Structure 1
Amino acid sequence: MARRVRNSLITAVVAVTAAVLAFGGAPAQAAVGGSGPYPADYETSAGLPNHTIYRPQNLPAERLPVFVWGNGGCSGNGLSQQNFLREIASHGFLAIANGAPNGSGSTTAQQLTQSVDWAVAENSRPDGKYYDRLDTTRIAAGGFSCGGLEAYAVSGDPRVTTTTIFSSGLLNDADDYQLRRLTKPIAYFIGGPGDIAYPNAMDDWTKLPAGLPAFMGNLNVGHGGTYDQVNGGEFARVAVLYLKWRLKGDTTAGGSFVGSNCGLCGTQWQVRQKNLTLDGGTPTTPPPSACSATYSVQDQWNGGFVASVTVTAGTAAVNGWRVALGLPGGASISSLWNAVATGTGTVTNASYNGRLSPGQSTTFGFQGTGTGGGATVTCTAS
């Protein structure tokens, strides 16, 4: 079936969302820090320009899963849904919105990827406050209206473990490939038949891949949702439950979505389900991504040599790699390219070549003193 709307819907969605944002520019006064156990606020980072980071004011002992967010209207104001996102953060999540606080202009899906990149890097930076404090194996992408289209666009990122679509749906049948490539659980939270995105969201629902775990909840509030209400209102309440289930393995929270007697069933929410099982939300520690490394000497002369190392991902994607390099006695590295030295005999990926798809390779090289033959290399992936 052809999409019910094309350019007219794009114009209407942007117009409606802009109106919502205009009236919601100063959200209703929220309880300080949200209702969760970890009072939350927002901050910015020089390492992640044009974004707003919502975090517990005091980082809890538990590691924080990550939620990256596209605003309604693809707004460049990272405070557009601040009550909603601060509420989520107060329950032990790091939520990162596209756009600087009170920023302007429009955002892109690439900014969601930048948020994921930043979180992964900060979790691995020894001198950073988020070092080993984030659970970067549990990342959700979400967005409202135009921001939902941004979330769809990054749903194929192997680091994204679930996608959440709020009052949004693909605008063109030509974009249905984004549905066909979905492999991780997805949830829709829509504003009912009065939501301008309702027809397209329901059309997307019918086209999801067979066997994909999916939830659809409709609350009859229209396109504007409840984001500006105290603590983000009902949309924030159910978003927290969903994220607790999918990113923290909280099966009590998962009971709100699964089965004929689910917690949202028979309430003001109109519920649809596909392929949902309660244990499907339980995190399991994924096996470490494997990688291999091969070493070769490119040139050797009296007192020096040039060598290269090829790093190859195994059957799973690699989001970073480290190579332990055992050089012959008396040999040492004098210069290095396409990698970063992190200690004697150890190098890690550069910022641009750490992410490898299954079977993909990258190469770094170095010039050394001494003799290059007989070196050993061992790769460890993250």
Structure 2
Amino acid sequence: MRGGRTIGAGLTAVAVAVTAAVLAIGAGPADAAVGGSGPYPADYETSAGLPDHTVYRPQNLPAERLPVLVWGNGGCASNGTAQVNFLREIASHGFLAIANGAPNGSGSTTARMLTQSIDWAFAENARAGSRFYGRIDTSAVAVAGFSCGGLEAYAVSDDPRVTTTLIFSSGLLNDADDYQLRRLTKPIAYVIGGPSDIAYPNAIDDWGKLPSGLPAFMGNLDVGHGGTYDQANGGEFGRVAVLYLRWRLKGDTAAGTAFVGAGCGLCGGPWQVRQRNLSLGGTPPTTPPVSPPPTGGTAACTAAYTVQDQWNGGFVASVAVTAGGAALDGWRVTLALPAGASVTSVWSAVGSGTSGTVTMANAAYNGQLAPGRSTTFGFQGTGTGGGATATCAAA
């Protein structure tokens, strides 16, 4: 049971106040490390194809494809640079981060803007001539937000393309919204500002209502509702966000040790940790680098199957489809699943069948591939994902 609408109203009021303070002091403090601490110095830009958003990316795109983070700001403010240090830090570690709102914009946002960010990233990955053509990992998408932006993240967390959800200093305001918790199927993480965070009781209430078996992490750092976003590189919230995204979206199990087990990297320190159904299991996904088209071979396409995450009773897998020496107008992957495994949801492909031998055909936006180019799709299932095999053919 929640503390009532008074807490909810207070959360909204504080979110607006925090956002106003950020706007008053500017996009970020003078001591911020320009470009972030990661190996790929990053900054932000805008795109005519995605109005009212701010796109954070490495200035020079790395060889590996970029997982995607879409972000809702505190106060649902339409200012895409409200958490600039935090988001630039994430991008500097090889991610594409897209915030609601134009740089220093005004007004308010909606959850639909997060969906628009995902749509744009997927379209750019498939659009010949885009700097992101074939360079976005469409099987690795996180939706996240701070305070009111966290409520926006909840609202779209059931999008089948979303791999994981991150809730920062936020929680559902009313019990009537608990259906959003019941429909969660992908791993979730909460980063909260401790008992002094006005969102704390709402977040704790949400934690107690998560579906049984859902992989979940909660970290509380006693910094209050404002978090550490404005500190250099996003402070501790930035560091923890990068670790979580490296684990969930890049398969970095070393980063995952910060969250898993009684001896986790965040356990026993200033962070107060809660864990549910967490495991490092599965094989880290291998993200194929962008490379020149192959010069030989006759295979129309290849399919590389990877278990991204495995927990007791379920798993998430991705499949990288790569065109051979000729362009593809469509593709079809045949998966032989291990005994007892069953597909429950699919993203970036059209599935047929749920167990045994299943087929996955391209979606409308990712069927055309130039020679040597790749796309990915993913799915969640019950049982054990290890041992499946995948073959690809032109459609």
State the alpha-carbon separation in 1 of the partners of residues 118 and 235 from structure 2: 26
1:262 partner SS: coil
Aligned to 2:352: 314
Report if the CA contact (8 A) 1:212-1:275 is conserved.
yes
Paired residues for 1:22-101 under 5 Å: 22-29=23-30, 30-101=32-103
1:136 CA displacement: 0.8
Distance 1:257 1:46, change over 3 A: same
Aligned to 2:9: 8
Aligned to 2:244: 242
Relative contact order (alpha carbons < 8 A, sep ≥ 6): 1 or 2 greater? 2
State the alpha-carbon separation in 2 of the partners of residues 17 and 225 from structure 1: 10
State the alpha-carbon separation in 1 of the partners of residues 366 and 132 from structure 2: 24
State the alpha-carbon separation in 2 of the partners of residues 102 and 199 from structure 1: 31
State the alpha-carbon separation in 1 of the partners of residues 14 and 164 from structure 2: 24
State the alpha-carbon separation in 2 of the partners of residues 208 and 164 from structure 1: 14
State the alpha-carbon separation in 2 of the partners of residues 281 and 19 from structure 1: 44
State the alpha-carbon separation in 1 of the partners of residues 155 and 366 from structure 2: 32
Aligned to 1:142: 144
- Percent of residue pairs identical: 69
Distance 1:22 1:175, change over 3 A: same
Distance 1:33 1:202, change over 3 A: same
Aligned match of 1:122 in 121, 124, 141?
A: 124
The number of aligned residues is 315
State the alpha-carbon separation in 1 of the partners of residues 199 and 175 from structure 2: 15
Aligned partner letter, 2:28: P
1:286 aligned onto 2:286: no
Report if the CA contact (8 A) 2:27-2:82 is conserved.
no
State the alpha-carbon separation in 2 of the partners of residues 100 and 186 from structure 1: 27
1:342 CA displacement: 11
RMSD of aligned alpha carbons: 2.9
Distance 1:315 1:165, change over 3 A: farther
Unaligned runs of 5+ in 2: 286-305, 307-316, 322-330, 334-348, 355-359, 371-378, 380-392
2:5 partner SS: coil
Distance 1:209 1:22, change over 3 A: same
State the alpha-carbon separation in 1 of the partners of residues 98 and 230 from structure 2: 17
Aligned to 2:374: none
TM-score (norm 2): 0.74
State the alpha-carbon separation in 2 of the partners of residues 178 and 67 from structure 1: 20
Distance 1:134 1:195, change over 3 A: same
2:137 partner SS: strand
Aligned partner letter, 2:318: P
1:290 CA displacement: 5.9
Aligned match of 1:169 in 168, 171, 178?
A: 171
1:13 CA displacement: 3.1
Distance 1:135 1:11, change over 3 A: closer
- The structure having more radius of gyration, on CA atoms, is 1
Report if the CA contact (8 A) 2:172-2:206 is conserved.
yes
2:69 partner SS: strand
1:28 CA displacement: 1.3
Q: CA offsets per residue over residues 229-260 of structure 1, 9 Å max, x none?
A: 11111100000000000000101100000000
Unaligned runs of 5+ in 1: 292-310, 325-340, 344-356, 358-377
Report if the CA contact (8 A) 1:254-1:281 is conserved.
no
State the alpha-carbon separation in 2 of the partners of residues 315 and 150 from structure 1: 32
State the alpha-carbon separation in 2 of the partners of residues 203 and 166 from structure 1: 14
Distance 1:80 1:323, change over 3 A: closer
1:48 partner SS: coil
Aligned partner letter, 1:8: A
Aligned partner letter, 1:320: A
